Structure 1
Amino acid sequence: MRPLLLLFALLFTVSATHASVPFLPTSPPEVSDTTLHQLAPNRTWVKKHHTLLVGAASAIAVTGFFIGSYQQYDRPIMTFAQQHRNAFTNETARLVQPLGTALPLHATFATMFTIGAVARRPKLREAAVVGLASFYVNALVTDQLKKNFQRYRPCVTQDSHLFDGASGAGQNTSLPSSHTSNAFAAASVISSVYHDSEWVPPVAYGVATLVGLSRINDNKHWASDVLAGATIGYLTGKATYWGYQRLKGHLSGPRIQLTPAWQNGSPGMAAFVRF
C-alpha cells in the first residue's frame, strides 16, 4: 500500500510542475529578404579618365597631322590653294584675317567687357578678361617659337624645309602662324566660358579656322604653320582659363580685377585692386 501511495505522490508532483511552466508560443520563422538590389556599376578606368584619353588622342592626332603636313603635304596644299584662289576666297580672307591681330582682338574684348558690365553678364566679362590674358600668354609663346625656328614663308620660297634657326636675322617668321594662334586662343577661352552653349563653341572655332585658312589663301603660311598655330592657341587658351579658375577659387581679401585698356595709342590691360 505504501509503494502505491508513493507512486501517486510522485505522479502528482510531476503533473503540478508541468502545469506551472507557462506556455511559450513558437516564434514564426525568419524570412530572409529576397528583394533584388541592383548596385550601381563601378566606373571603369576608361570612363573615369575619359577627358585625359581624349586629350592624349587629340595630341597624338595633331602631332601626326603636323608631321605629315610638314613632310609631304605643305607644298601640295600651297599649290592647290594658289591654283584655286579667286575673288571669293580673297574677300573672305580679307574679312576674317584681322580677327587674328592685336587691335581687333583688344577691341572685341573691350566691347565684351563693357557689355558684360552694363548688362550684368558675368560670363561675358569673364570671357573678355581671360581672353585678353590668353592673348598675351599666347603672344609670348608664339613669338619665342618664331625666333627659334625662323622659317621661310611660302611667298618667299617654294622650299618648305628652309629654316634660319635661332641664329637668323629674324626676318623669316613663318612658323607658327601668330594670326591662327591668336584666333584659337580667343576661341578656346570663349568656348570654355560658354561650354554649356550649343552654338558658341562651333562659331568660335569656326571663325578661328577661317582665320587660319586665310593665311594659306594669302600664301603667308604653310599648312603646318597654321596647324601649329591652332594647337598653340588652343593650349594657351585652355591653360589660361584653367589658371584663372584656380586663381579665382583661392582668392580672398583684396580682389584683383583686370580690364582692357588703351593708352598712348597702344592696347593693354589695367589692373585694379578692390578691398
Structure 2
Amino acid sequence: MAVRGQPDKPVSCWQPYLILSQLSGMRYFISLLVASCMCSGAALGQVSATPDSVAVLPTAPPAPAPVAPWAKRPAVWRVALPVTLVTLGYLSRNENLLDELKEEVHEETREHFPHFRTRLDDYTRHVPVWGAYGLYAVGLKGERGVVPFTVCYGLAHALNTGIVSHLKRISRTRRPDDPTDFSSFPSAHTAEAFMTATLLHEQFGKGRPWLSVAGYSVATATGAMRMLNNRHWVTDVLAGASIGFLSAETVWRLYPAATRLLPEKLGRKLLLVPTYVPGGSVGVIVRYGL
C-alpha cells in the first residue's frame, strides 16, 4: 500500500517476522521490569523485617480502669453502715417504729432467756486485745510492731470511750432493767469488744482469717450477753459495735500519717505499757525517756 507523498517501498517477505520479533522483545522487557519491581519489593520487605529498620508505630494508651461508683466501694459501706446504725439507735430513744421494734426484741429475749445472768461480758470485751499481746509473746509477727500497736490501742480506746460517754450523756436512754438509769445508749461493753476485735483483725487477721473470726465472734458474744443480761436494748448493742469498729479503723488508718509528723527520735524514746484498772477500765502509761 502506497502512502501519499512518499515513494513506494517494496515489502520484504521477512518484514512480518521482524515486527513479531520487536513485539516479543518488548514483552520480554516489560516482563523483566515487572520481575525486577517484584524482587525489589521483596528485598525491601526483608530489610524492613530486620530490627534496625523496624518502624515503631505509636501504640494507643491503655484504656483507663473503670471507676466503680461510690456506692460500690467497700470503704463507703465500711463507714456508711456503722454511721447508719448509730443514727437509727439514737432515733429509737423516742416513741416511734424503731422504739417498738427494740422493745419487741427485748420481750422475745426475756421470754426465751428469763433467768440468764453472767458477768463474763465484763472480761470478754478485752479478750481480743489480750489475744493480740499473747500472739506477740509467742513471737508471731503482725502488720506493725508492738509499740505502734499499743499506741493505736490507746488512741482508739480514748476515742471510743469519749464518743460513748458523750452519747450516753446526750441521748439519756433508760436501761431495760432499770428505768431510773439513763445511760443505756450506746453499749460501752460492746463498743470496747468490737474496737479490740478490729485491732486484732488489722494486726494479725489479714493473713490469718481464723483470728479475725475468733475476735469478732467474741465481740458478738459480748454484745449478745449484754442483751441477755437485760442491760441493753438491741439498738444499744448495734450502735456500740459500730462505734467500736469506727474508732479502731479511724486510728489505724490515720496512724501512719500521724507518725510522719513526729520527730524521728521521739518514737525511740517512748515507752508504752497497757494497764488494767479494777472496775473494767483499761489504759496506757506513756513514759518518755531522756
Tell me which of 44, 55, 63 is aligned to 1:28: 44
* Contact 2:83–2:242 under 8 Å retained in 1: no
Q: CA deviation at 1:64?
A: 8.2
Is 2:128–2:200's contact at 8 Å kept on the other side of the alignment?
no
Instruction: Pick closer, same or farther for the CA change 1:263–1:225 going to 2, 3 Å.
Output: closer
Find the counterpart in structure 1 of residue 215 from structure 2.
Answer: 204
Q: Which of structures 1 and 2 has the bigger CA Rg?
A: 2
Aligned to 1:180: 190
Moved more, 60-69 or 190-199: 60-69
Indicate which of 255, 258, 265 corresponds to 1:253.
265
Given that 1:152 and 1:173 are in contact with CA atoms closer than 8 Å, whether structure 2 keeps it comes out as yes
Describe how 1:92-131 pairs up with structure 2 within 5 A. Answer: 93-100=118-125, 105=126, 109=129, 112-113=132-133, 116=136, 119=139, 121=141, 123=144, 125=146, 126-131=148-153
Conserved in 1, the CA contact under 8 Å of 2:177 and 2:231? yes
CA distance in 1, matches of 2:266, 2:87: 46
Q: Secondary structure at the match of 1:46?
A: coil
Tell me the equivalent position of 2:73: 50
Q: What CA distance in whole angstroms lies between the structure 2 residues aligned with 1:259 and 1:52?
A: 32
Residue 85 in structure 1 maps to residue 113 in structure 2: yes
C-alpha distance in 1 between matches for 2:277 and 2:170 = 31
* Distance (Å, rounded) in 2 between the aligned partners of 1:263 and 1:65: 33
Q: Secondary structure at the match of 1:179?
A: helix
Pair 1:76 & 2:104 matched: yes
Q: CA deviation at 1:191?
A: 1.2
CA contact (8 A) 1:109 1:128 kept: no
> Which runs of 5 or more structure 1 residues have no equivalent in the other structure?
1-24, 158-169
Q: List runs of 5+ in structure 2 lacking aligned partners.
A: 1-38
| TM-score normalised to structure 2 length | 0.64
Contact 1:97/1:215, CA 8 A, preserved across alignment: no
* CA RMSD of superposed structures (Å): 3.9
Contact 1:129 1:260 in 2 (8 A): no
Bigger shift: 211-220 or 189-198?
Answer: 189-198
Per-residue deviation, 1:194: 2.2
For 2:286, which of 263, 271, 275 is the aligned residue?
271
In structure 2, the CA distance between the partners of 1:194 and 1:77, relative to structure 1 (3 Å rule), is same
Q: Deviations over 1:126-177 (max 9, x none)?
A: 44442233122211111111111111111134xxxxxxxxxxxx94200111
AA at the equivalent of 1:55:
R
1:122-271 correspondence runs (5 A): 123=144, 125=146, 126-157=148-179, 171-196=181-206, 197-251=208-262, 252-255=264-267, 256-261=270-275, 268-271=283-286
Instruction: Give a deviation string over 1:6-29, Cα, whole Å, max 9, x none.
Output: xxxxxxxxxxxxxxxxxxx94514
* Cα offset, 1:217, TM superposition: 0.4
TM-score norm. by structure 1 comes to 0.67
The answer to whether the 8 A contact 1:185-1:234 is kept is yes
Identity over aligned pairs, percent: 20
Distance 1:94 1:235, change over 3 A: same
Pairs aligned (count): 230
- Letter paired with 2:78: G
1:116 aligned counterpart, secondary structure: helix
2-side partners of 1:143 and 1:63: how far apart? Answer: 14
Aligned equivalents of 2:289 and 2:135: distance in 1? 21
